Structures are given as C-alpha cells and as structure tokens.
Amino acid sequence: MSDAVRLGTSGLRLRTATYLAVLLFVSVLAIKQLSAIIQPMVVAVFLFFAIRPPASWLEEKFGHPLLSYTGVLVAFLGVIILVSQILFSSLSGFSSEVPSLSPKLNDKIDWLEGLEIFGYSIDLEGLQTIISIEEINRLVTEFIGSLASFTANMLTVLIFLAFIILEAESLPGRVMAAFPEESNRFDNIATKAEKNINVYIKTKATVAFGQAVIAGVALYAFDIPGAFIWAFLVFILDFIPYLGAFLSFVPPIILAFIQLPLTGFIAVVAILVGNQQLWGSFVEPQLAGQRLDMSPIVLLFLVAFWYWAWGLTGMILGVPLAVIMKILLESDERTLPIAIMLSRNPPSPVDDGNEDPIAGE
C-alpha cells in the first residue's frame, strides 16, 4: 500500500471519528437540555411499536386503522389508571404500617447483634442509619412520585403518538423518494429496528409480568406489607438490565426479615431469587430466541447515562435505545468496528456481521 493510500485511509478514519465526536456531543446536549421534548417523543415511538401489533390485528378484523389504534390506546390507558389506583392505595396502606414496623426492625437488628458465630459477634451499629422502614417508605414514595410525574406527561406523549400513527404509512415512502440511493439501507434499518424492538417489548413485558404475578402472590401469601407495591417494582425494574432485579428484591426481603421467622425469611428469599432465575435464565431465552448482543459494561454505562439524562424513564428506555444505536452503527462500514466493540459476542472473521443485535434481553 502506498503512502498516499495510507494517508487517505488515515484521513478518512480521522474525519469519521471527528464527525462522530461532534455528533455525540450535540446529541448529549440535546438529550439533556431538550428532554421535555425529546423524551415524550421517544416514549411515543416505543409506545407505537408496542401497540402496533394488536392494532394491526384489529385492523385486519374491522378494517379501520384509526379505530383500531384508538381501541388499543383506550385499553392501555384504562390499565394504567387501574394500576395507578391500586398502587396509590397500597402505598397509603404501607405508609400507615410504618410506625409499627420500625420497632420490629430494631428488635431484629438487636437480635442479630446478640448472635455469636465462631466466637465473633455481629456489629450492626451503623445499619439502622442506612436501612430503616422510614427510608424505604421515602424511597418508594419518591419512586412512585416519579412515575406519577411521567403519567402527568402522558398528554404530550399521546400528541406525539397521534402524529406518529398518522405519519406511519406515508413517512417511509417519502423518505425513500427523497433518498433513493439510500433506500435499501434505510429500509433495512427500519425493518430491523421495528422487528427487534417489537420482540424486546413483547418478551420483556411477558417475562416481567410473569415474575411480578408470582412475586406478588408469594408476598401476599406470606403477609408481607405492600405486596402489590413490591410486585409492581419487580415488573418495572425488570426492564433495567442487571441492576433492576437486585433493587426490586431489597425492600420485600427486609420486610420478610422483619415480619417472618428465619424459615419464612429464607423461603421468601428463595422464591424471589428462584422466580427471577426461572424467568430470566430459562423462559426469556425461549421466548426471544437469543439474548441481547451488548457488552454488559456497555449496558451498565448506558443505563447510568440515561438515568443521568432522564431518570427512571431513561433507565427503562436505555436497552431499546441501545438496540437502535447498535443497528445504526452496523449499517455503515465506517462505524461497523464500533458496533463490533459494543458486542458481547463479536462475529468471527468468517461471519458477515449481519445478525440481529437483539431478539430479547
């Protein structure tokens, strides 16, 4: 290879890296500073992907797309309202039990401090300042408050969603007409993104709902206060990779430690952990066909970034946004090496690198 060719290749890579750096900087600024506009629009896009399959089924049955989407949306909003009412009622009931639960926690901590294991006692002097029923109640209240804030913005989301539904049929044709030389590439990106996000939403919602039902029934059977709250946490936090399941276990395990004898406490821990492993390690791969092809450290970084940018909503949307980002990077030869670096299982040199980046998380 001549020096001129080497210099040309190096210059091309440098320009690509510069363009990506500038684009990344502008994107981060827009995501953070324009979150009031961008966040509802992104939520509307993913909500459109979620309701499109049942709406298409209704459209085949009744032949009217607008009525089909309206029917699915009404049902969706009805579920949100029902769950919100039960959730706030359960939160009120749990808050009323906080004064009686705090002394029980102190008694359990005193009991633990009185134990000796191989001649060593357990020192939990600072534990009560970190873990308390009041702190759990505060954190849960703030968490549900953030969900209520998101629900209050649903009007903006619905406005974006209405325009997305109206534009869904004509927009692809306009894009293809405006960029005919890139039509195949755009069509491939759109097809892969829709397919993989649909699979992700369907799989994750099914797995999260199954886990939440079993966890809720088990906690209710063991008479754990606020069982519906913790089941709801299991459902919501399951959309957050790696960290979500652990965070959803903490409050019910502490309450089981307070309320139950040792055997009951061990049973609750075993049920919660076994339930998560059953759905996450066995059921989910069967539904999805494969797991998310993203490096775990990359996913954790993206979850942290989206939490900084958009809070809880960003953490939930982080995985599907990562899917879209990886599809975009894979679609261009200049950015394909970056997509490969983000992969958990990079293709071998004989592979063509065109596998779907996700069929489930």
Q: Mean pLDDT score of the chain, rounded to an integer?
A: 77
Q: How far apart are CA 361 and CA 359, in angstroms?
A: 7
Determine contact, residues 96/111, Cβ cutoff 8 Å: no
58 and 153 co-located in one domain: yes
Instruction: Tell whether 132 is covered by a domain.
Output: yes
Nearest CA to 260 among 104, 42, 95, 135?
104
The closest alpha carbon to 148, from 233, 84, 78, 76, belongs to 84
Q: Among 158, 201, 168, which residue's Cα sits nearest to residue 46?
A: 201
Q: Is residue 12 situated within a structural domain?
A: no
- pLDDT of 360 > 50? The answer is no
pLDDT digits (tens, 9 = 90+) for 61-114: 777 777 788 888 888 888 888 888 888 888 888 888 777 777 777 777 766 666
Q: What would the pLDDT profile of 133-171 be if each residue is shown by its tens digit?
A: 777 777 777 777 666 666 667 778 888 888 888 877 777
Do 254 and 155 fall into the same domain? no
63 and 149, same domain (yes or no): yes
Would 28 be classed as within a structural domain?
no
Within a domain: 15:
no
Region 307-314: mean pLDDT is 84
Co-location of 225 and 254 in the same domain: yes
Q: pTM for the whole thing?
A: 0.78
**Close Cβ partners of 21 (under 8 Å, ≥ 6 residues apart):** none
Q: Are residues 230 and 136 in the same domain?
A: no
Residue 322's closest CA among 197, 206, 188, 161? 197
Residue 56 backbone class (left: φ over 0; alpha: ψ -120 to 50; beta: rest): alpha
| Residue 284 domain-assigned (yes or no) | yes
Q: 118, 140, 169 — which closes off a domain?
A: 169
Judged by phi (left if over 0) then psi (alpha if -120 to 50, else beta), residue 118 lies in left
Q: What angle do CA 142, 145, 151 make, to 5 degrees?
A: 155
CA 261 to chain centre: 34
The count of domains in the chain is 2
Give mean pLDDT, residues 287-304.
Answer: 74
Question: Which among 142, 169, 196 is the end of a domain?
Answer: 169
pLDDT at position 271 over 90: yes
Length of the chain: 361
pLDDT at 16: 67
What confidence tier does 359 reach under pLDDT thresholds 50, 70, 90? Answer: very low
Same domain, 160 and 210: no
Considering the domain architecture, whether residues 151 and 270 belong to the same structural domain is answered as no
Same-domain pairing of 92 and 178: no
d(CA 28, CA 20) in angstroms, rounded, equals 12
Last residue of a domain, one of 149, 169, 189: 169
Spatial contact of 299 and 287, defined as CB atoms under 8 Å apart? no
Q: Are 314 and 306 in contact (CB under 8 A)?
A: yes
Q: Lowest-confidence range among 168-172, 212-216, 258-262?
A: 168-172
Q: What is the pLDDT of residues 177-187, one digit of tens each?
A: 777 777 677 77
How far is residue 22's CA from residue 28's CA, in Å, rounded to a whole number?
10
- Tell me which residue range forms the domain holding 216: 173-361
